[in-house]
Amino acid sequence: MIEEQTTIAVGKDELLGTVSDFHSQGYRLVQICCTALGDTIEIHYSFDKDYRFTNLRLTVKPGEEIQSVSIIYWSAFAYENEMSELFGVKIRNIVVDYKGHFYRTAVATPFVATETDEKNDTGKE
Amino acid sequence: MSQRNVIPFGPQHPVLPEPIHLDLVTEDETVVEAIPSIGFVHRGLEKLVEKKDYQDFVYVAERICGICSFMHGMTYCQAVEEVMGIAVPERALYLRTVWAELSRVHSHLMWLGLAADAFGFESLFMNCWKLREGILDIIEATTGGRVIFGSCKIGGVRRDIDGDTMKGIVEKLDRIAAEIRHTTDVFLNDYSVQHRLKEVGVMSGEEAYALGTVGPVLRASGVAMDARKIGYAAYRNLKFEPVVEKSGDCHARCRVRVREIFQSIDLIGQAARKMPEGEIAVKVTGAPSGEYFSRVEQPRGEVIYYVKANGTKNLQRFRVRTPTFANLPAMVRMLKGASIADVPNIILTVDPCISCIER
Amino acid sequence: MGFLSMTRNIAQNLFEGPSTRRYPAVKRYYEPKSRGMIGIDIEACIFCGLCSKRCPTGALTVAKDRKEWEIDRLRCIFCGYCVEVCPKKCLSMANHYSPCVTDRGDAIHLEKQAPKGTTEQPVEEKLEKE
Ligand code: SF4
Ligand code: SF4
């Protein structure tokens, strides 16, 4: 085992509160990543302070809207734009919102499972 | 108020052979805002993992970046090993450390050259790349490739370095180190270099930390954060301290990298002395199940690999957060208020690796 | 002092001469471990197809019925995985590169195992070379 990693599950409503808690304790935002698991989407917010690695796990349904944490950590805008473009996660109030122009992709949200894509194909190019 | 103009920087630009585009909003000669856009060469490798066997995927992970390729492979292997609970033999850990530090040396030398090129010091650029060839020769002799090592695999490494070769490498590195010092002295002392880099693109430690900056950019602002301190591979047995500079300008970032070259050479020497005998790999069977975030300090900073597996041969999710992606916000911040002439220098001292962003 | 650090390098470079190689005249030395080109000892191959299954780029095709082994040299990334997995150890990694080609098709190299009973000639040839 290289290092201990803790993962805490958070709900959609506690997200901003917990993240600002981390911010005031002086944690650094390491990364935000998104995993599409068929009927749910898992979002990991990772923080680090003095080499202590902590994770927040938020589980949402596809299409559910979440709050952006970029008002607390400005640098989150890059990750959040990436998530909304590749996974189609709806994120409200991103500080720098590219509105789908961060990446140039041929298909909308290429990283989510293809069968849902076919079902509700919005035809966005 | 003077008129605002938008000057496009890239995707093709002489100082940066990789495609990133920045819209520089300028007022006279000053940049007031920089808006990056990426995705010109996005390869979707994170998605490819669903089609490839997890053991074969090492080759793909290695090709995320052509400069720190070994470290990408190593981070991926570490992530899968942690998920599967594999104990990697000590010798393999030491060999990984040696190769990782060799890539750091060659990456930093390459960066020094590119930086010299960015401020128009061509002969210095050529000098750095000449020295880098010496390192690449060592890499080729030990792994068979100049930049793509192909030496890491899940459970250990594919090749060994025997004792005599290792001794030869340490001696050769000592020789090269003396030559490197002649060249890096130019970066540290030369008037024209200082003139272009000092007090340009200043970023305070607090700001850099708040923006989630990693690697030499963060350390140049006085924050001692080096993911090697976590103690992966053999680093827990080696003595080193993160290289830190205070001033946070372009020259500080340059000094950090210069000092890290010698730190890496020293680490290789330490690893060579302490390297135990024994196996270099363990056999890996079965399939991973679980998740892990693996972190490694690359030449450009901390890289994060997230691996989620569900007990099949194909991973469920594989995510890479490369250091340049984390440094993008810092780059945008530094460009604010900079003069147009300093833009190439500022961008280059972040050491952006666009192919890494576009994994 | 601010300028002298580079002057010293320049002087050194003047006396040392070029660092580059006069290429066609002076050949590059390849380390024994260099990875450059995949070769096969086709007579030892059992056409199990393991190499083609493992190859990360799909550069190899093995046809068991026709006793053929084919490599697309421009697809191969010299990773050496096929050499590692081959159960008969009949694949090898040469430390030099394959010849240049001007057409993609020319890079496809086919090896065919001679039908049993007529293998005499190649064996003789091989002995002569050694
Ligand atoms: S793995 Fe070896 S024996 Fe099997 S088909 Fe390939 S070359 Fe032939
Ligand atoms: S070296 Fe790698 S890419 Fe080339 S044929 Fe063998 S397995 Fe395929």
CATH of the domain at A32: 3.30.460.80
How far apart (Å, rounded) are the C-alpha atoms in residues B167 and A18?
52
pLDDT score, position B309: 80
Q: Is residue C40 part of a domain?
A: yes
Atom of ligand 1 minimally distant from the CA of C40: 7
Would you tell me how many other CB atoms lie within 10 Å of the CB of residue B224?
12
Q: Domain range spanning residue C109?
A: 31-114
Interval A23-75: pLDDT, tens: 888 888 888 888 878 788 888 888 888 888 888 888 888 777 887 888 888 88
> Mean pLDDT for each consecutive 10-residue tract of chain B (359 residues)?
78 76 83 80 76 81 83 87 84 88 89 84 85 88 84 84 85 87 83 81 82 85 83 82 85 88 89 84 79 84 84 80 83 83 82 75
Give phi and psi for C50, each to the nearest 5: -65, -40
Q: How confident is the model at residue C123 (pLDDT cuts 50, 70, 90)?
A: very low
The verdict on A72 touching B (C-beta cutoff 8 Å) is: no
pLDDT score, position C23: 85
Ligand nearest to the CA of C42: 1
Q: Is residue C85 part of a domain?
A: yes
Q: Is residue C2 part of a domain?
A: no
Q: Is residue B345 part of a domain?
A: no
Q: Domain range spanning residue B87?
A: 44-321
Q: Judge if the upstream peptide bond of residue B17 is cis by omega within 30 degrees of 0.
A: no
Residue linked to tokens 């890079």: C107
Domain count, chain B: 1
What's the mean pLDDT in A66-86? Answer: 81
Ligand 1 atom 1 nearest Cα: C86
Average of per-residue pLDDT values in chain A: 76
Would you tell me how many other CB atoms lie within 10 Å of the CB of residue B268?
24
Of C31, C78, C81, the CB nearest to B141: C31
Interface contact flag, B59 C81, Cβ < 8 Å: yes
How far apart (Å, rounded) are the C-alpha atoms in residues A46 and A33?
8
With 70 as the cut, is the pLDDT of residue C3 above it?
Answer: no
Q: Domain range spanning residue A15?
A: 6-122
Domain count, chain C: 1
What single DSSP character describes residue C113?
A: P
The answer to whether B77 touches B58, Cβ cutoff 8 Å, is yes
What's the CA angle centered on A30, arms B324 and B264, to 5 degrees? 55
3-state secondary structure chain A: CCCCEEEEEECCCCHHHHHHHHHHCCCEEEEEEEEEECCEEEEEEEEEECCEEEEEEEEECCCCEEECCCCCCCCHHHHHHHHHHHCCCEEECCCCCCCCCCCCCCCCCCCCCHHHHHHCCCCCC
pLDDT score, position C117: 53
What's the CA angle centered on B259, arms B258 and B262, to 5 degrees? 100
What's the mean pLDDT in A5-34? Answer: 81
Q: Is residue B335 part of a domain?
A: no
How far apart (Å, rounded) are the C-alpha atoms in residues C22 and C37?
24
Here the CATH number for the domain that contains residue B230 is: 1.10.645.10
Of B341, B254, B268, B302, which Cα lies nearest the Cα of B94? B268
With 60 as the cut, is the pLDDT of residue A120 above it?
Answer: no
Of B190, B216, B185, B192, which Cα lies nearest the Cα of B203? B216
Of B147, B245, B241, which Cα lies nearest the Cα of B203? B245
Q: Is residue A87 part of a domain?
A: yes
Contacts of C54 in chain B (CB under 8 A): 56
Distance linking the first and last C-alpha atoms of chain C: 62
Mutational test site, ligand 2, from C37, C45, C78, C90, max ligand atoms within 8 Å of CB: C78
Here the CATH number for the domain that contains residue C51 is: 3.30.70.3270
Residue linked to tokens 């009973």: C117
Q: Is residue B180 part of a domain?
A: yes
Domain count, chain A: 1
Interval C31-57: pLDDT, tens: 888 888 888 888 888 888 888 888 888
Q: How confident is the model at residue C109 (pLDDT cuts 50, 70, 90)?
A: confident
Name residues whose C-beta falls within 8 Å of residue B317's C-beta, 6 or more positions apart in sequence: A35, A36, B46, B49, B306, B307, B308
Contacts of C34 in chain B (CB under 8 A): 140, 144-145
With 50 as the cut, is the pLDDT of residue C129 above it?
Answer: no
Task: Give me the count of residues in chain B.
Answer: 359
Q: How confident is the model at residue C69 (pLDDT cuts 50, 70, 90)?
A: confident
- In this complex, does chain B touch chain C, defined as having at least 3 beta-carbon pairs under 8 Å apart? yes
What single DSSP character describes residue B141?
A: H
Q: Is residue A24 part of a domain?
A: yes
With 50 as the cut, is the pLDDT of residue C124 above it?
Answer: no
Amino acid identity, position C82:
C
Name the residue in chain B with its Cα closest to that of A105.
Answer: B39
